[in-house]
Amino acid sequence: MSDPAHSIDDRQVKALDAKVDAAIQLVARLHDALLDVKRAISHENPVRDVLALYDELWINLYARNAKPVVHYEFNRVVDPAHVKRLLKVFDTNTLKQRVTRYFLDRDLFLVKNGHPFNLFLSRLNTYGVVNVPSPSQAVTTAERERALQMRKAWGGCGHKPRCASSGACVLAIITKWRAQEQQVEVI
Ligand SMILES: [Zn+2]
C-alpha cells in the first residue's frame, strides 16, 4: 500500500511533467546560445561553410566555365535559416558530406532542375546512407575499375552535365550503382 501522504495525483504529475519540459527547453536554448558564442569566438561560421560548399559543387556541375562566375541562387532569407536548423541536428561535417553526396547523385529529375536546394532538404535522409560513397569514403578497386571501364566505353564522361574531373565522374558512377543496389534490397 502506498502512503497517501507521499503519493502524487495525476494533476501533480502533469504539473511536474510540464516543469521538466520547460527545463529541457531552457537547456536546449542555453546549448544553442553557448554554441553560437563558441563559434563566434573561433570565427567558425558553419552555415556559411555549408552554403559555400553547396555553391562550389553547384558551380562545378553547372557553371564551371562561366565568366563572370555564376553562383547558385540561394534564397538568402530562408536557406541560411534551414542550414542553421539542420546544424542543430547534424555536425558540420555530416551535413557537408550529405551535400557532397547530393551532387554525386545524377538523378535526371535533379539534373533537370539543377540540383535545387529545396530538393536537397526534402531528400536529406537519402544522402545519410553509408552505402552512397563520399570522396573520403573507400571505393573498392573492383568498383573503380568497373567505373573506369564504363568511362572508356563512353569515351570520357557520359554525364549531363559533364563531371568536373575524372575522379568526380568515377564517384558519380559508383554512387548510382550503390543506390540501385540499395533499391533492390529494399524491394
Ligand atoms: Zn561523369
Q: What is the pTM of this model?
A: 0.68
Predicted local distance difference test score (pLDDT) of residue 99: 95
Mean pLDDT of the chain, nearest integer:
86
Q: Nearest to residue 168, comparing CAs of 24, 60, 25?
A: 60
Report the distance separating Cα 111 and Cα 16, nearest Å: 52
Contact between 131 and 179 (Cβ < 8 Å): yes
Count Cβ atoms below 10 Å from residue 120 Cβ, excluding itself.
Answer: 21
Kindly give the distance from the C-alpha atom of residue 17 to the centroid of ligand 1, in angstroms, as a whole number: 55
Report the distance separating Cα 98 and Cα 128, nearest Å: 6
Kindly give the distance from the C-alpha atom of residue 99 to the centroid of ligand 1, in angstroms, as a whole number: 18
Measured in whole angstroms, the distance separating CA 128 from the mean position of its chain's CA atoms is 7
The mean pLDDT value for 48-65 works out to: 95
Kindly give the distance from the C-alpha atom of residue 27 to the centroid of ligand 1, in angstroms, as a whole number: 47
C-alpha cell at 172: 558519380
Kindly give the distance from the C-alpha atom of residue 121 to the centroid of ligand 1, in angstroms, as a whole number: 24
C-alpha cell at 87: 546544424
Kindly give the distance from the C-alpha atom of residue 76 to the centroid of ligand 1, in angstroms, as a whole number: 30
Kindly give the distance from the C-alpha atom of residue 57 to the centroid of ligand 1, in angstroms, as a whole number: 14
pLDDT in tens, 81-103: 999 999 988 889 999 999 998 99
Predicted local distance difference test score (pLDDT) of residue 186: 42
The mean pLDDT value for 5-33 works out to: 88
Kindly give the distance from the C-alpha atom of residue 181 to the centroid of ligand 1, in angstroms, as a whole number: 20
Kindly give the distance from the C-alpha atom of residue 3 to the centroid of ligand 1, in angstroms, as a whole number: 74
103 vs 139, more confident: 103
Kindly give the distance from the C-alpha atom of residue 151 to the centroid of ligand 1, in angstroms, as a whole number: 8
Q: Look at phi and psi of residue 44 and say left if phi exceeds 0, alpha if psi is from -120 to 50, else beta.
A: beta
Kindly give the distance from the C-alpha atom of residue 176 to the centroid of ligand 1, in angstroms, as a whole number: 11
Q: Which residues surround ligand 1, an ion (CB under 5 A)?
A: 157, 159, 163, 169
Question: Which residue type occupies 141?
Answer: T
Three-class SS state of 27: helix
Cβ neighbours for 57, distance < 8 A, ≥ 6 positions apart = 99, 100, 103
Could you tell me the residue ranges of all domains in the chain? 12-42, 45-186
Report the distance separating Cα 57 and Cα 154, nearest Å: 23
